[in-house]
Every structure is written in structure tokens, then in C-alpha cells.
């Protein structure tokens, strides 16, 4: 895993869902309670952009079918729903280690040879 600079900390306000890219991966970065999180940007259900969702507690909720994922572990906390029909997400959300150094945000992503 290599830490890659993705944005500056000033671009990630509390509760914002910020799209970033690292080593060709489309990710989102957010800050909740002062802690930064990084996850894949595509919802594991049908691929909707999670940056268009919202934060609930320490989770992200997809705007399309309301699936809810823990930002720390990526674990699904609520299955997607379409009207009254329950559906299943294909997988949990992939999360990535993230850190702030000198005002910049870095995300650890697998190098191309590790994917």
C-alpha cells in the first residue's frame, strides 16, 4: 500500500463527501467528528456515486436506494430498498486508510501490482 496525496484538508469540510482519485481509483473522502475516512466512490449495489449521498452518524447513505455503509469498516448496515422491495448489495464497501499530514490528505491504496 502506498499513501497518495488526494486533496488538501481545507477541501474536506465536516460531513462533506468529496470525490478524489488515487492511483486510478475513484474514491470519496469525508470527515466525521474530526476523523477522515476514504472509501470507494461507487455504491456496491448498482454503482451509484456515493458522493451524492449523505452522512448519517459515522455512515454513508447512498442516495439511490438508501443502502447504508459504515465508513470505518465498510460493512453494510442497511440493505438497499426500492419502494417496498428489499435488495442486497453485492459486497460491503471497500475502505482505505487515510491520514492528514501538513494540511494535505493522503489515502493508502494498493499499488497496481497488488490489484
Q: Closest separation between CB of residue 53 and ligand FES, Å?
A: 8
Q: By C-beta, is 4 or 60 nearer to ligand FES?
A: 60
Q: By C-beta, is 23 or 46 nearer to ligand FES?
A: 46
Q: In the complex, which residues of this chain contact ligand FES (CB under 6 A)? A: 43, 45-46, 48, 62, 64-65, 67, 80
Q: By C-beta, is 9 or 66 nearer to ligand FES?
A: 66
Residue 87's alpha-carbon distances to 15, 65, 90, in angstroms, are 27, 9, 10
Q: Closest separation between CB of residue 68 and ligand FES, Å?
A: 9
Residue 91 DSSP one-character state: S
Q: By C-beta, is 4 or 38 nearer to ligand FES?
A: 38
Residue 98's alpha-carbon distances to 27, 36, 71, 74, 111, in angstroms, are 11, 6, 12, 14, 15
Q: Does an H or E element contain 106, and which?
A: strand 104-109
Do the beta carbons of residue 75 and residue 92 sit within 8 Å? yes
Q: Closest separation between CB of residue 102 and ligand FES, Å?
A: 35
Q: Closest separation between CB of residue 23 and ligand FES, Å?
A: 24
For cell 449523505, name the residue. 54
Amino acid at each position: 500500500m502506498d499513501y497518495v496525496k488526494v486533496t488538501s484538508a481545507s477541501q474536506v469540510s465536516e460531513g462533506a463527501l468529496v470525490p478524489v482519485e488515487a492511483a486510478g481509483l475513484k474514491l470519496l473522502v469525508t470527515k466525521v467528528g474530526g476523523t477522515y475516512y476514504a472509501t470507494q466512490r461507487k455504491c456496491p449495489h448498482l454503482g451509484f456515486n456515493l458522493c451524492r449521498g449523505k452522512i448519517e452518524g459515522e455512515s454513508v447513505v447512498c442516495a439511490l436506494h438508501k443502502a447504508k455503509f459504515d465508513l470505518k469498516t465498510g460493512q453494510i448496515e442497511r440493505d438497499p430498498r426500492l419502494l417496498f422491495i428489499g435488495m442486497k448489495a453485492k459486497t460491503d464497501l471497500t475502505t482505505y486508510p487515510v491520514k492528514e499530514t501538513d494540511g494535505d490528505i493522503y489515502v493508502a491504496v494498493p499499488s497496481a501490482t497488488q490489484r
